Amino acid sequence: MIIRAASLEDLPNISQLHAESWQENYQDALSSEYLANQVFVERAALWQGRLNSPLANQLVLVAEIEGTFCGFICVFGAHHDNYGTLIDNLHVKSAAKGQGIGSKLLAAAFNWAHQHYPQHNIYLEVLACNPKAIAFYQFKGGQNIASGYWHTPCGNQVEEYVYSWPIESITA
């Protein structure tokens, strides 16, 4: 497995996987109309912007096995005053799950965050309707420290949790 920095050439794979992941996991959170007709275009536009004009505190990594794209992670260093560095996206292709890809992407993000933003914890937001992701983050030592609501692109309001890893647990 290779973990490498994303490039603009990864745009189709990243946006496709992001949209497919939402279709697979967010049927209870996003409208069927949005998932059927808008998610692919909207995610492609998001990633076009992120990969064309990355923020100074942004890291996007992709995972490949034998040259085949399997997943990606996006991180924003020192994103939140209280919570710290944000893992904004972590997605692995369904067919590739169970091979340690998510764990390796998470470890690479932790390592980057520890090197570049050592004074900050790491956190992410996960929807309450995504129990598989919640179980994975708990298995990886994440602690549920807050809850709130995500205002979705289709106008819904969905419960979400904030999972955090303290800085002392992030050493690579």
**Looking at residue 69, which CATH number applies to its domain?**
3.40.630.30
> Considering the domain boundaries, does residue 90 fall inside one?
yes
Six-digit token pair at 41?
A: 């275009």
> Considering the domain boundaries, does residue 159 fall inside one?
no
pLDDT of residue 159: 97
> Considering the domain boundaries, does residue 156 fall inside one?
no
pLDDT of residue 94: 92
> Considering the domain boundaries, does residue 143 fall inside one?
no
pLDDT of residue 169: 67
The Cβ of residue 172 has, within 10 Å, a number of other Cβ atoms equal to 11
pLDDT of residue 172: 41
> Considering the domain boundaries, does residue 99 fall inside one?
yes
pLDDT of residue 167: 72
> Considering the domain boundaries, does residue 83 fall inside one?
yes
Task: Spell out, as residue ranges, where the chain has pLDDT lower than 50.
Answer: 171-172
Instruction: Note down the domain range covering 56.
Output: 2-120
CA 161, distance to chain mean position in Å, is: 14
The whole-angstrom separation of Cα 17 and Cα 14 is 5
Task: Count how many domains the chain has.
Answer: 1
> Considering the domain boundaries, does residue 22 fall inside one?
yes
* pLDDT tens per residue across span 85-123: 999 999 999 999 999 999 999 999 999 999 999 999 999
